[in-house]
């Protein structure tokens, strides 16, 4: 019988450490003794379990004992058939599920406001995206989810597509009707892939949007290190019984390290146990924290901490109330400007700021004092820094003009030109603000004056632009016609 009170990898590491094994294998720091400065920084207890695969500890690439058992327990906790431990971040999980369902030239239906990892998977494997433009809330300027009607239209126009990809939720906390989309996909012989990088808690909390596995998804990529409490870079890839377990593991092993970190794996093991046993009370507290802050921030005026009142049964089908997404444009400040002021003047680091909104990530690790500190800082910022909003850009999403597949564009013959001279050309690389890492421009898309104006505006406001070979974003690679 599987027990959620077990943590097999954690237990095996404690037993291994107790045996005082003499290490003549990697890593070369030899349980910290070979790198005293690092050991002092991270702690001896941590260094003694930064170990290599061995028979007592199993092997991530081909698990047969403690890792296999830990994966089985995790699968049960999430209501999945299989759970794969991922130590290359949710990026690797997203890429694995895309590569597992579509080969070169085959189609995947997806919203354009996907994380770059999804488009990277298309570059690696050669699948072709069929983009569904997400809905847009014009007041907030943010992209939303996909409507069922738009997904159905894409399916009917592309009956040969292999899968439908859904963000559950978006970075802002917005959810599509994943159950109906899953049913649609399956009715047409397609897989449903759920990017749940920001939806771990959907599986363990009450009054949450529907989790991918419960909605009938065939795959779900879950960032345990975000709301689940594990170490950064640790994630799960969940699959249903519709999926070939052995083939998926082969796909994962194409990309994932052969030197799986036991620090990351044990953090997944322990965090899964914690959520399985205590998730309901943990996330009830997180919801209460977020609602308290939402109410207080909306009382300030000028800001809008939005929630389920915007749900419309369509592209804003549901909302994750643990997300503290705040619209800032009405005080005359871009989200990224508020982000920078909070960090530089108030010592508060939030998750991200874009041109009109900020996101403060709320978790069980917060203290009530911190909640009030952020509320007070936002009050101060409005009083000290607010200004006329005239002339501010009012949207985050621009419909793409797709000319080539991401793979063909990325590997095509390219040349570098000054970015201000690139309008009308086809991009051979990404441009995006990070976080959140959703491309403004992706390989294969036509560069337009509107996109260039957005990139310049975002850079001028202080967004951290990434994706181009030129680290200063002064030049861009375009297809050499």
Lowest mean pLDDT, pick from 177-186, 212-221, 254-263, 396-405: 396-405
CATH 3.40.640.10 fits 8-276, yes or no: yes
Average pLDDT over residues 400-418: 96
Tens-digit pLDDT profile for residues 104-155: 999 999 999 999 999 999 999 999 999 999 999 989 989 999 999 999 999 9
Task: State the SS3 of the chain.
Answer: CCCCCCCHHHHHHHHHHHCCCCCCCCCCCCCCCCCHHHHHHHCHHHHHCCCCCECCCECCCCCCCHHHHHHHHHHHHHCCCEEEEECCHHHHHHHHHHHHHCCCCCEEEEECCCCHHHHHHHHHHCCEEEEECCCEECCCCEECCCCHHHHHHHHHHCCCCCEEEEECCCCCCEECCHHHHHHHHHHCCCEEEEEECCCHHHHCCCCCCCCHHHHCCCEEEECHHHHCCCCCCCEEEEECCCCCHHHHHHHHHHHCCCCCCHHHHHHHHHHHHHHHHHHHHHHHHHHHHHHHHHHHHHHHCCCEECCHHHCCCCCCCEECCCEEEEECHHHCCCHHHHHHHHHHHHCCCCCEECCCEEEEECCCCCCHHHHHHHHHHHHHHHHHHCCCCCCCCCCCCCCCCECCCHHHHHCCCEEEEEHHHCCCCEECCCEEECCCCEEEECCCEECCHHHHHHHHHHHHHCCCEECCCCCCCCEEEEECC
Q: Are 114 and 136 in contact (CB under 8 A)?
A: no
Tens-digit pLDDT profile for residues 421-431: 999 999 999 99
In CATH terms, 280-385 corresponds, of 3.30.230.70, 3.90.1150.10, 3.40.50.10470, 3.30.365.10, to 3.90.1150.10
Tens-digit pLDDT profile for residues 247-259: 999 999 999 999 9
pLDDT higher than 70, residue 314: yes
pLDDT higher than 90, residue 435: no
pLDDT higher than 90, residue 481: no
Residues of the chain with pLDDT > 90, as a percent, come to: 95
pLDDT value, residue 259: 95
Q: Are 32 and 48 in contact (CB under 8 A)?
A: yes
pLDDT value, residue 172: 95
Average pLDDT over residues 70-86: 98
pTM score, two decimals?
Answer: 0.96
CATH superfamily of the 406-479 domain:
Molybdopterin biosynthesis moea protein, domain 2 (3.90.105.10)
pLDDT value, residue 206: 96
Average pLDDT over residues 326-353: 97
**Number of other CB atoms surrounding residue 167 within 10 Å:** 29
pLDDT higher than 90, residue 1: no
Average pLDDT over residues 270-293: 98
Tell me the domain boundaries of the chain.
Answer: 8-276, 280-385, 406-479
Mean pLDDT, the chain, rounded, equals: 96
């Amino acid at each position: 019988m599987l027990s959620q009170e077990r943590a097999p990898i954690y237990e095996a590491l404690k037993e291994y450490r107790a045996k005082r094994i003499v290490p003549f294998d990697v890593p070369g720091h030899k349980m910290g003794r070979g790198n005293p400065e690092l050991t002092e920084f991270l702690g001896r207890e941590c260094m003694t379990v930064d170990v290599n695969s061995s028979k007592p500890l199993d092997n991530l690439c081909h698990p047969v004992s403690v890792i296999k058992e830990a994966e089985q327990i995790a699968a049960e906790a999430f209501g999945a058939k299989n759970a794969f431990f991922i130590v290359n971040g949710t990026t690797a999980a997203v890429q694995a599920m895309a590569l597992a369902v579509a080969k070169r030239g085959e189609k995947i239906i997806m919203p354009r406001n996907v994380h770059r990892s999804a488009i990277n998977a298309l570059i690696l494997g050669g699948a072709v995206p069929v983009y569904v433009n997400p809905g847009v809330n014009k007041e907030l300027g943010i992209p939303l989810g996909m409507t069922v009607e738009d997904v159905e239209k894409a399916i009917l126009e592309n009956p040969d597509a292999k899968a439908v990809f859904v963000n559950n939720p978006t970075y802002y906390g917005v959810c599509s009707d994943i159950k109906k989309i899953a049913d649609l996909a399956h009715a047409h012989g397609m897989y449903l892939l759920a990017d749940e990088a920001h939806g771990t808690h959907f599986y363990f909390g009450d009054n949450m949007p529907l989790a991918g596995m419960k909605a009938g998804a065939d795959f779900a990529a879950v960032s345990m290190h975000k709301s689940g409490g594990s170490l950064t870079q640790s994630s799960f890839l969940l699959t249903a019984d519709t999926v070939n377990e052995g083939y998926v593991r082969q796909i994962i092993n194409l990309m994932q390290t052969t030197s799986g970190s036991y620090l990351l794996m044990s953090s997944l093991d322990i965090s899964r146990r914690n959520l399985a046993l205590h998730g309901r009370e943990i996330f009830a507290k997180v919801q209460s924290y977020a609602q308290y802050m939402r109410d207080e921030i909306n009382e300030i005026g000028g800001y809008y901490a939005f929630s389920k009142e915007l749900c419309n049964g369509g592209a804003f089908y549901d909302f994750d109330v643990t997300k503290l997404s705040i619209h800032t444009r009405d005080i005359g400040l871009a989200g990224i400007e508020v982000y920078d002021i909070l960090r530089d003047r108030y010592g508060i680091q939030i998750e991200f700021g874009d041109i009109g909104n900020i996101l403060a990530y709320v978790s069980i690790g917060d203290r009530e004092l911190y909640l009030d500190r952020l509320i007070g800082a936002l009050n101060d910022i409005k009083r000290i820094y607010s200004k006329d909003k005239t002339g501010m850009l009012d949207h985050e999403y621009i419909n793409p003009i797709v000319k080539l597949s991401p793979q063909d564009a990325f590997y095509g013959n390219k040349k570098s030109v000054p970015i201000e001279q690139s309008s009308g050309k086809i991009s051979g690389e990404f441009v995006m603000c990070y976080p959140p890492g959703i491309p403004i421009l992706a390989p294969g898309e036509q560069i337009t004056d509107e996109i260039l104006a957005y990139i310049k505006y975002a850079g001028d406001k202080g967004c951290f632009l990434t994706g181009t070979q030129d680290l200063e974003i002064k030049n861009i690679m375009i297809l050499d016609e």
